[in-house]
Structure 1
Amino acid sequence: MSFPPPSPDGLDPLAVVLDEVLDADAALAAAEARKTRALARAGRLALDALAEQRVSSRAAEMALREVASEIAAAGCLSDRSVQAQIMKALALVDHFPATVDAWEAGALSRAHVQAIVDAGTPVPVDKRGEFDVLAVATAEGLSPGRLRARLATLAERLQPTTITERHQRGREQRCVRVVRGENGMSDLIATLPTVLAVGIYDRLTQQSRALIDAREEPGSPVSAGANAASSSGSGRAVVSGAAFGIDRVGDGSEEWLERELLGAVDGQARAAVAAATPG
């Protein structure tokens, strides 16, 4: 590919465009950093107003929400969204000052900053300042993706305990929660050891693919049962235990197949958890 020749004044058109892009990136980074500092100051105003009072966390949240609502109204934004931005800005400015300085100087992009925050947040507070300075130095010349890998190693070195000890503490905090969505749907979120999460996800994926394949095969028990159920309103299907871990006979409906599939997965998940849980 050939680019246009240099202009009469000797300037390379591609170099000119590259400079424009880099200048715009630096200006954008500086503006984002300044906005972050401003949001942090807004949050500090709300918290400082309550500093000499003995107030509950609820009162502090209401003060932050009041400040956020003023900013949101001026910018035609959501109160909750602005409040979340303020909380993130406070954490960033308070715990990663070197990162904010480099961001404002145009040395880091938003993606670099997010990588530093993600890797640095689990680092103990007394070590976070050291991490902050080293992370900025590490980021030079690296893409955000490569930076994440380097920062993971750096953060691990600054941890006072081993990964095994932290994993054990994490296991003690495992839980299951429901986040309600729209249209009668919800997200079921399980926090559990990665080895179990990956195993359950893999098993679900295998079984769902097998179920889809069986539906698409002409003459298969699942396909025939589903077709019969859809045409006559009733039907029966035998689901292969080898494919799904289910050996019962049902009415062939999607609801029945879903119940059976989830039941099988639940049993396997319980067995995996029991096998992996000490004692």
Structure 2
Amino acid sequence: MGGDADVDALAVLVADAEGVSDAARAVQIREVRVLAAAGLLAEKQAAGASEKVKAREMALRGIAAELAGVFVTTDRTLQRRIDEARDLVENYPVTMAAWEAGRIVRGHVRVIQEVGCLVPVEERAEFERVAVGKCERETPNRVREALRMLAERIHPRTFTERHEEAAAGRCVRVQAGADGMSDLIATLPTVIADGIVDRLTRQAREVINARAQADVAGAGATPDDARADASGGITDAITTVCDGSTFVDARTIDQVRADVFSDLLLAGAPALDPTATGDGDGDGTLGKIRAHVQVAVSALTLMGADDGPADLAGRSPIDAATARELAGNATSWDRLLTHPVTGTVLECDSYRPTAAMVRLLRARDRRCRFPGCRQPAIRCELDHTIAVSVGGPTQAGNLAHLCKRHHDVKHHTRWQVRQLPGGRLVWTSPTGRVYREDAPPPLVAFAITEPPGPTAPTGRGDGHSDSTRAPARRPSGESRSGPGSAGPPPF
């Protein structure tokens, strides 16, 4: 409840909150206008170029990369924000005016811009006028559906026509999460998405029903009881006998649905395979393709000596058990020999013939070497830091992985790079900002806890620490080999 003093204190807080809100709005509007100006600058730089579209894209990439260092984000993110800011400033003047006047907030602006893209340009002014009026009376989360209905009524084209165009943008993408998990996001027509979920749900229930019915004989329950339990989504642990072995399956319906989804995508063959011959010889090429991932795991983790995380190159850590399972099914391995003190990759070999230098660089880089980029090396291109055309050698000290996007930035903008020993890249932006890009840290590294005394051995001089020196204490979860070269190198 509170007394008069509390009410007075609350009034002061509310006044302060209003001031903070006004200040935040002003900063947000200024940021949008700065980013929109960056887009206009890219347009200006590309003016007069023979290939105007490509020139604008390269100019925009260079500017986005420059600003990314200031905003501490990736250049891809900055380029997207530049496009959004320019679209907002140029195509939604009524919305910008209402925002600057404090009639609406940033959340309203996002909804108007998101839904407004569905409305043709010639109808957008009317849409903005009505949308701003609706936003003034509701919170952003409540007004979204009302604006969608407004856009549908204003749009001169039928929903069917627009759906056919939208379906052309269907895609699948991965969004990395915490604890070795990720979200696999598929953008599909609604009826297809609902159909997929329905089929997965019915298949998951069949799995749960089957395991429940297998337990009925021993428990004395009826099959109807088992099905009733399964349909609830969570069941007790059921002991099942399979090939003479016993295991416990207590998965929920969500877990079974996710497992069936994974199994179908990793091992199933598409129903429509244009590469199939139809002569009864089995699946076509599509059905034979298997997933390909790059995983780095230390030898000690691989042998079960510790449970340190492995690295899914360019993505995120994965658990030791999954890494061991993948290793057990691998047809070939890359073995990395790392420096015992610095951890730098010194050499790489394989149990089958391959391009040793490519393997070495892929193991060293593990991702695109442009500042902030996380594209895995297996999807990148090898770039000569010093071009061959000007005498650059084809050797590890002059090569680095760059994704297609940043390979183009290096060659078509004023960004410059030089490579130092150990695979360290030093990038210089067009305005002179310097960014150091070190190779990703190794999974296994040695360190000396105490400097050698006057009478202590000085080491063998071959890149290995002397066996009389104790390895440094390591943080929990980090793997290491024993002193000297006794432990195997990481894989």
RMSD, aligned CA: 3.8
Task: Give the equivalent residue in structure 1 for 2:78.
Answer: 82
What is the CA distance between 1:262 and its match in structure 2?
A: 8.2
Distance 1:99 1:88 in 2: 14
Residues 1:137 and 2:133 aligned together: yes
Kindly indicate whether the alpha-carbon contact (under 8 Å) linking 1:4 and 1:13 is maintained by their aligned counterparts in 2: no
CA shift digits 1:229-275 (9 cap, x unpaired): 567xxxxxxxxxxxx9xxxxxxxxx89x94599869x87xxxxxxxx
2-structure distance, mates of 1:227, 1:107: 69
Partner of 2:433: none
Work out the CA distance in 2 between the residues paired with 1:114 and 1:141. Answer: 16
Superimposed CA distance per residue, residues 54-85 of structure 1 (whole angstroms, 9 cap, x where no aligned partner): 32423211101111122122333322221111
Which structure 1 residue ranges, 5 or more long, are not aligned? 232-243, 245-253, 268-279
* Residues 107 and 227 (structure 1), Cα distance of their counterparts in 2 relative to 1, 3 Å cut: farther
Q: Aligned equivalents of 1:226 and 1:204: distance in 2?
A: 23
User: How many angstroms apart in 1 are the aligned matches of 2:265 and 2:165?
Assistant: 34
Question: Within 2, Cα distance between the matches of 1:104 and 1:228?
Answer: 72
Task: Say if 1:123 and 1:158, in contact at 8 Å, map to a contact too.
Answer: yes
* Equivalent pair of 2:46/2:52 in contact (CA under 8 Å): no
How far apart, CA to CA, are the structure 1 residues paired with 2:65 and 2:265?
48
| 1:15 aligned onto 2:14 | no
1:111 aligns with one of 107, 111, 117: 107
Q: What secondary structure, in the 3-state scheme, does the structure 2 residue paired with 1:224 have?
A: strand
| Structure 2 match to 1:224 | 240
Work out which of the residue numbers 26, 40, 45 in structure 2 matches 1:44.
40
Larger displacement relative to structure 2 (110-119 or 158-167): 158-167
Determine which structure has the larger helix proportion and give its number. Answer: 1
TM-score for both structures, normalised by structure 2: 0.42
Per the alignment, residue 270 of structure 1 pairs with: none
What residue identity is the alignment partner of 2:30? R
Identical columns (%):
36
SS of residue matched to 1:49: helix
Give the aligned partner of residue 237 of structure 1: none
Deviation string, structure 1 residues 12-36 (Cα, Å, up to 9, x no partner): 3323222322332222122111100
How many Å separate the matches in 2 of 1:38 and 1:18? 30
Name the structure with the higher strand share: 2
Aligned to 1:58, which of 54, 73, 84?
A: 54
For residues 184-228 of structure 1, give each alpha carbon's deviation from its aligned partner in whole angstroms, at most 9, with x where no partner exists.
Answer: x89473522x23321321331343355357557883798514595
SS at match of 1:219: helix
1:189 is matched with which residue: 176, 186, 190? Answer: 186
Contact residue 43 and residue 86 of structure 1 kept, 8 A: yes
**Residue correspondence of structure 1 range 1-279 to structure 2 within 5 A:** 2-6=1-5, 12-170=8-166, 173=168, 177-179=171-173, 187=184, 189=186, 191-192=188-189, 194-208=190-204, 210-211=206-207, 219=215, 223-225=239-241, 228-229=244-245, 258-259=263-264
Residue 92 (structure 1) shift: 1.2
Contact 2:135 2:143 in 1 (8 A): yes
Distance in 2, matches of 1:229 and 1:258, equals 22
In 2, Cα distance between equivalents of 1:49 and 1:198:
46
Over alpha carbons, which structure has the higher Rg?
Answer: 2
Cα distance in 2 for residues equivalent to 1:125 and 1:66: 30
Q: Distance in 1 between matches of 2:102 and 2:61?
A: 31
The secondary structure found in structure 1 opposite 2:4 is coil
Residues 4 and 209 of structure 1: CA distance in aligned 2, closer, same or farther (over 3 Å): farther
> Structure 1, residues 164-189: CA drift from partner, whole Å, max 9, x if none?
44335556x375x4546778x89473
- SS class of match (2:200): helix
Question: Counterpart of 2:475?
Answer: none
Report the CA distance shift for 1:230/1:106 in structure 2 as closer, same or farther (over 3 A).
farther
